[in-house]
Amino acid sequence: MKYYSVISVTPTNEDWIPAYLEVVVGLVAKQGGQFLARTPNHEQLEGEKQDAALRIIIEWPSRQAALDFSNDADYQPHLEARLAGSVSQHFLIEGKDQLA
C-alpha cells in the first residue's frame, strides 16, 4: 500500500539547504520514493492558519519504505540540520480511503 509524506518547512537558516537537497533526493529514490510536489506555491483553504514556506509531498511504495528513509543513517545528519534550521512538520499518511 502506498504512503505519503506531507511535509511543511519554513527555513530559519538556509545554510543547510544545498547539502540537504544534494543528498536527500538520492535517499528518497533509494527507498522507492517519488516527489510529487516541492513548492512554495500553496494556499490554505480551511482551518487555523499554518504558515509554511514550502510544502513537500512524497509518495512511498510502503510505510516501511518511508520509515527506512527516515531512519537511514545517511539521512540523520541532514534531518538534524533541517530540524535545527527550520520549523518543520512531517506527516505520514496511509494511501487508503477508510471512509468509503
pLDDT in tens, 79-93: 999 999 999 999 999
Residues 23 and 1: their CA atoms lie apart, in Å, by 26
**Number of domains comprising the chain:** 1
Q: Is 99 inside any structural domain?
A: no
Residues 93 and 22: their CA atoms lie apart, in Å, by 25
Q: Is 70 inside any structural domain?
A: yes
Domain assignment of residue 7, given as a range: 3-41+52-94
Over residues 1-10, the pLDDT tens digits come to: 999 999 999 9
pLDDT at residue 61 greater than cutoff 90: yes
Q: Is 46 inside any structural domain?
A: no
Q: Is 68 inside any structural domain?
A: yes
Q: Is 47 inside any structural domain?
A: no
Q: What percent of the chain has pLDDT over 70?
A: 100
pTM above 0.75? yes
Q: Which CATH number characterizes residue 10's domain? A: 3.30.70.100
Q: Is 67 inside any structural domain?
A: yes
